[in-house]
Amino acid sequence: MASVLEEKIDGIIDATVSHASATGYFATVNGHEPKSTPSTEMTCAIWLQRIRPIPARSGLNNTTGLVIFNCRLYIGMVTEPQDYIDPRMTKATSALMAAYSGAFTFGGLISNVDLLGAHGQPLESMAGYITVGTTKFRVMTIAIPCVVNDLFTQAP
């Protein structure tokens, strides 16, 4: 018997990728973490980061879960003008967070995006730097916590 996540994972990833693509900020949007150096133009990658049960939302027969995706924005550190890197990243991050807030259930695929962290992880972003291959990138990683009802059926 397939779990709810097995049935819905493709649609959930497609929804996160679709929202990122619709912003128009990215040269490329991938539904996976890059295995090689991404373009130094602004790029977005989305992948599954964590799955865990939500005890307060689970019952005797089914386990509701928190499925957390990372959405990482990349731009080369030597992109010119350099003063425009962080404002550009901020605009793209804001557009994504607004999109994930507005698409609260991803068209019914999930119960909700846990915007305020009722189950531990809020929708949030964190800036940083990453070197991929020999290229250094400015990055912004957005955690997208998705509450999925009846994620797993509990067997007696």
Q: Which domains does the chain have, with CATH numbers?
A: 4-153 (3.30.2000.30)
The percent of residues above 70 in pLDDT, for the chain, comes to 98
Q: What token pair was written down for 26?
A: 């990215």
> Which pLDDT score is estimated for 88?
95
Helix 85-102 to helix 4-22 angle, to the nearest 10 degrees? 130
Which pTM does this prediction carry? 0.92
Per-residue pLDDT tens for 31-75?
999 888 888 889 999 999 999 999 999 988 889 999 999 999 999
Per-residue pLDDT tens for 104-113?
899 899 999 9
> Which pLDDT score is estimated for 74?
97
**Res. 1: pLDDT tops 60:** no
Q: What is the 3-state secondary structure (H, E, C) of the chain?
A: CCCHHHHHHHHHHHHHHHHHHHCCCCCEEECCCCCCCCCCCCEEEEEEEEEEECHHHCCCCEEEEEEEEEEEEEEECCCCCHHHHHHHHHHHHHHHHHHHHHCCCCCCCCCEECCCCCCCCCCEEEEEEEEECCEEEEEEEEEEEEEEEEEEECCC
> Which pLDDT score is estimated for 2?
65
Mean per-residue pLDDT of the chain: 92
Report the length, in residues, of the chain.
156
